[in-house]
A and B are shown apart, each in its own frame.
Chain A
Amino acid sequence: MLTDDEVRDLFSAYHDRELSPERTEAVRAALDASPPLQREYAAFCRMLDGLSAMAAASEAPLPGASAPKAADAPKPAPPPDLLEGVQRRLQKRSGGRFYADGWSRLAGILPLELIATLVLIALVIAYAAMTMVSPHPAPAPAAPAAAPAR
């Protein structure tokens, strides 16, 4: 037979149906045998309902037997830039060497279309720069006429 204190320590697990069948039966027997303990357990259950409802509450009055479970409560929303913040820190602390594919870091910052356009523009500029140089070599300075042989 469990003592009252032992039963109190098992209230949570009993409420959550986390006890073995033997332990569950022992707690049930102890509660049946002790009306004060029964009242204590009933108050404990109402408290948990109240806590769950408090966690889940948006409009619902408290406490309530039909309270929604706390796990269904709306959770605090993460900031929209959490991922960007993580990537910024990773990038800074690793000096840009964290990921296996370094190019993907740039791709995360700029759209691929923009990167492709920039590369194309760079190629065009490079080509233009090369063709601006005259294709014909500049004529060599005229050599002084050789003095006629006398």
Chain B
Amino acid sequence: MTLDLEAERALVERLRRRDEAAFNLFVRAYQARVFSLVQRMLGNRAEAEDLAQEVFITVFRSIDSFRGDARLSTWLYRVAINHCKNRIKYLDRRVTRGHDALDDEGGKALTEGGPVMSRPDRPDESMQGVEMARVIERALVLLEEEHRALVVLRDLEGLSYEEIMTITGLPEGTVKSRLHRARAALREAIERGLGYKLPE
């Protein structure tokens, strides 16, 4: 469900008046997009479910600061991306602390060997369908958060460069060059995880 500009303006006015029905409508209209973005950024459904709720609460509480320069959906994406970055940092710190506490062989494998990804016996057969979707999801979470955000926004959510500039606050040239690096990094992460090069 996507609201046109006029409907969006009316909705923002109702949100500012703290009209509960408007908030319900807003969540129903955007929950799929927000959850999809957050799930792809975090790669963890339980965390994504929690964070998606926090995104909407932040939007509700700060709707007065929405100036209307961008689309409501773009602003919502910005809130979501910022939440994701903070959560990723928090989770990384937690994982790092967890790894510091591990001194057994399993712990060493986790810290020295990098992420564990299943390697298919027959890559040509296994590079299909749902499994490949899982591979790309796992590779995505290996990217640094800035790269991950760009790939998710552009390649998975299908946003325009202009929208991405608004969301990230980056200038156009930076978005373009970083997106290129992000895509290259994703490819490397996929190949590393699979243990072989993607066909060219």
Please list the residues of chain A having a beta carbon within 8 angstroms of any beta carbon in chain B.
Answer: 8-13, 16, 18, 42-44, 46-48, 50-55, 57-63, 69-73, 75-79, 82-83, 85-87, 89-90, 93, 98-101, 104-105, 108
Is the pair B18, A99 in contact by a Cβ cutoff of 8 Å? Answer: yes
* CB contact between B20 and one of A16, A82, A105 (< 8 Å): that residue: A105
A86 and B128 in contact, given A12-B176, A13-B180, A79-B49 (Cβ under 8 angstroms): no
Q: Spell out B's residues near A (CB within 8 Å).
A: 17-21, 23-24, 27-28, 31-36, 39-40, 45, 48-49, 52-54, 56-57, 60, 127-130, 132-133, 135-136, 154-158, 161, 176-177, 179-180, 183, 186-187, 190, 198-200
B127 CB contacts on chain A under 8 angstroms: 61-63
Contact at B187–A54, with CB atoms within 8 Å? no
CB < 8 Å neighbour of B158 from A44, A70, A82, A90: A70
Q: Which residue of A lies closest to B50 (CB)?
A: A85
Contact B48 A76 (CB under 8 A): yes
Q: Is the interface of B mostly helix, strand, loop or mixed?
A: helix
A89 CA to B23 CA, complexed, in Å: 13
Residues of B within 8 A of A72 (CB): 158
